[in-house]
Amino acid sequence: MSVLVGKQAPTFTAKAVQGENIIDSFSLEQYLGNKYVVLFFYPKDFTFVCPTELHRFQDELAEFEARNVAVVGCSTDSEFSHWAWLNTPKNQGGIQGVTYPIVADINKTISEAYDVLAGEEMIDDEGNIAVEGELVAYRGLFLIDLEGKVRHQVVNDMPLGRSIQECLRIIDALQHFEEHGEVCPMDWQKGEDAMTADHQGVSDYLGNK
């Protein structure tokens, strides 16, 4: 698994769906210098854990927007599958009401660039391309800063849903560091004391506990 933290986020241009609209050329470059990005991958449309995550991102969208963060979903399904899922009511397993863009990684190149693609392509003894497992995305999540650099990543296996609250906590920590130059200790929450990256800062922090 590649560690992308500290590196520029891989760029791409792909089809995406947002609301009722299919976008022919969607790119994260539109956010450079303007918005942070949470790019999250999920395995498949029309499944079980996935809609709980997509709906939860929608439920908390105002929290992301208040932090100047764009939320972008991505799976290896086609734009037509995304469009159909977005037009299926929630009580029928759909994600109707989700308003953030969902990227169609039908060629698997985006998932591969972010190293979240499950399964493996290989050449068999007869020279044919074979696949072991399914070529779908794990539950990867990447926080990208205003300069297009990855500052946080987490990858879950298929059965394991993510924590939106932890995602928001990490955003708060990054933005606190950027604004104040203070580092954030374990389980730090917005509004709590942080520390400077030196012995005095640690002593002051521990002394306040």
Among 20-29, 101-110, 136-145, 181-190, the least confident range: 181-190
Sequence-ordered list of residues with C-beta below 8 angstroms from that of 44, at least 6 positions apart, any chain: 50, 75, 76, 77, 136
pLDDT on residue 64: 98
74 is catalytic: no
Q: Predicted confidence band at 202 (pLDDT cuts at 50, 70, 90)?
A: very low
pLDDT on residue 126: 67
Is it the case that residue 10 has pLDDT exceeding 70? yes
Q: What average pLDDT does the structure give for the chain?
A: 90
What would you report as the CA-atom Rg of the chain, rounded to the nearest whole angstrom? Answer: 19
Token duo for residue 101: 């863009």
Q: Are 131 and 119 in contact, with CB atoms under 8 Å apart?
A: yes
CA 194 to CA 182: how far, in whole Å?
Answer: 6
Model pTM greater than 0.85?
yes
Is it the case that residue 23 has pLDDT exceeding 60? yes
Q: Phi and psi for 31 in degrees, rounded to 5?
A: -95, -10
Is it the case that residue 119 has pLDDT exceeding 80? no
Q: Where are the domains of the chain?
A: 14-162, 163-209
pLDDT on residue 2: 86
Of the residues 50, 74, 167, 184, which is catalytic?
50
What is the DSSP code (8-state) at residue 125? T
Considering the four listed CATH numbers 3.30.450.20, 3.40.30.10, 3.40.50.800, 3.40.50.720, the one that applies to the domain covering 14-162 is 3.40.30.10
Among 38-52, 98-112, 125-139, the least confident range: 125-139
